[in-house]
Amino acid sequence: MSTTTIVLAVLLAAIFLLLGAAKLAAVPAMRQAAAHVGMTTTHYRLLGALEVAAAAGLLAGLRITALGAAAAAGLILLMAGAVVIHLRSGDPAARYLPAAVVGALAAAHLVLLAGG
């Protein structure tokens, strides 16, 4: 496994561990973000649980490549959904670009895991 692959896995895991934990804890900023896109706090917490699970999967993927690939694929889907939800809410690019960027990083990680 290359250094780039490891760095991407750790970076993505850190990002999604922090964001997922904030959603699970329903911190005020996350509750506001959920309300802004028409989601309940319960649904946002579910997304947080998926993000934390994906972070764990990315780290476990440093040992079990298939698990890391599955976690990266899940994050790609989550971030694609986030972009769509922001677009449907009429948000400016500044609101959906972070999801697009980390989704692209997850895609790069998946490609690197596949040997590309």
41-49: list long-range contacts, CB under 8 Å, 24+ apart: 47/20, 47/23, 47/78, 48/19, 48/20, 48/21, 48/22, 48/23, 48/24, 49/20, 49/24
| pLDDT confidence of residue 47 | 95
At 77-116, the pLDDT tens digits run 999 999 999 999 999 999 999 999 999 999 999 999 998 6
Longest dimension (CA), the chain: 41
Q: Structure pTM?
A: 0.91
At 23-60, the pLDDT tens digits run 999 999 999 989 999 999 999 999 999 999 999 999 99
| pLDDT confidence of residue 5 | 96
